[in-house]
Amino acid sequence: MVKTSFVALAVFVACAVHVHGASDDVEVAWENFQAHHPINTKSQTETTKRKENFVKTHNMIVRHKKNKMATFEMEHNVFSVMDEEEKKLYTGAIAPASRDFTHYITDETMRQLPTSLDYRTNKCLSAVKNQGSCGSCWAFTAIAPLEFAQCKKTGVAVVLSEQQLVDCDTSNGGCGGGWYTSAWNYMKNGSAKQSLYTYTATARTCKFTSSMISSKVATYGYVASKSPSAMQSALQKYGPLAVAITVVKSIYSYKSGVYTDVACDNLGVNHGVVVVGWGTLSGLDYWIVRNSWGSGWGSLGYILIQRGVNKCSIETYPATVTSVV
């Protein structure tokens, strides 16, 4: 768990003000960063460590900016001063040893696919949330499709509780990580309204009661693996898809554009996110991906990840809620 002195730093993820157009000069960039992201260190040793982390990130960003073939931009944000172990606390997907094929979407009848689809402004998609330094991405990945499915059925937007999953879902590991389909199985018994079970980014004693229920999962399933067209069809039919990706250093500093870094390919997944659409930019096909690091990260909390090549393993574990009670 992140030390107490770093907690204030973590909460800035949700409302970070990015340093746009920062100078390539590291000292100037460091001064600009501190003006926008006060780190409140308690000792010179800690300040020195934070600056060393910043310099490493800065050099990576500068090298990337000089790459004329780059398809995405990078920038400084609160992750710039974190150690690698601290950054890992913002992930948390643990893939199962094998998939449960009893929960598989078999209705893959292909339909006419539009050139783009974007649920970001759909009333059934709640605002981007922030998991903080708790490895609960799996819970956020599970909740967004359920919120959408519930709203799609009733016509009324709903915001559900990730904290209930962190505290009560014993099939997963709270802030220690988990998996979205296991969470859906748990939520067949009910998902609490967020206002009745608020998020704390720490594991606590379960306080869930049936009076808090605002939705229940009826059915869910995996979409065909490594089949972009099947994912598109499922997105059209059901709504947002839960997926797992491999987060590497460059993703923490993502700003905009289509993410194409080969560094994340052919590695084990470590983070759960939600695909909410697709499109094409400058000839590059992409997925629109909702993260759980707050709206201050990336493009208002979203990242565009290259589509059709299983970038960062995004097309390996797609799944979604197919019906609600």
Give the CATH number for residue 236: 3.90.70.10
Phi-psi region of 202 (alpha: psi -120 to 50; beta: other; left: phi over 0): beta
144 plus 61 within the same structural domain: no
Whether residue 99 is contained in a domain is answered as no
Catalytic one of 77, 151, 271, 312: 271
170 plus 82 within the same structural domain: no
Decide if 76 contacts 254 (C-beta within 8 A): no
283 plus 147 within the same structural domain: yes
Whether residue 96 is contained in a domain is answered as no
Task: Say how many CA atoms lie within 13 Å of 35 toward its Cβ.
Answer: 9
CA–CA separation, 272 and 128 (whole Å): 14
**168 has catalytic annotation:** no
Catalytic one of 137, 151, 264, 312: 137
224 plus 306 within the same structural domain: yes
Domain boundary among 68, 88, 108: 88
**137 has catalytic annotation:** yes
Whether residue 97 is contained in a domain is answered as no
Express each pLDDT in 195-254 by its tens digit: 999 999 999 999 999 999 999 999 999 999 999 999 999 999 999 999 999 999 999 999
130 plus 240 within the same structural domain: yes
Decide if 193 contacts 210 (C-beta within 8 A): no
What band does 108 get if pLDDT is binned at 50, 70 and 90?
A: low
62 plus 130 within the same structural domain: no
Query: Could you list the residue range(s) of the whole structural domain that residue 53 is in?
Result: 4-88
In this prediction the pTM is 0.91
The number of domains in the chain is: 2
Contacts of residue 118, Cβ cutoff 8 Å, sequence gap at least 6 = 276, 277, 279, 288
User: If you search the block for the tokens 């069809």, which residue do you land on?
Assistant: 233
Whether residue 112 is contained in a domain is answered as no
Length of the chain: 325
Whether residue 162 is contained in a domain is answered as yes
71 plus 186 within the same structural domain: no
pLDDT at 41: 85
Express each pLDDT in 250-303 by its tens digit: 999 999 999 999 999 999 999 999 999 999 999 999 999 999 999 999 999 999
Angle among Cα 264, 269, 272 to the nearest 5 degrees reads 110
Whether residue 279 is contained in a domain is answered as yes
Express each pLDDT in 60-71 by its tens digit: 999 999 999 999
131 plus 82 within the same structural domain: no
Whether residue 109 is contained in a domain is answered as no
**151 has catalytic annotation:** no
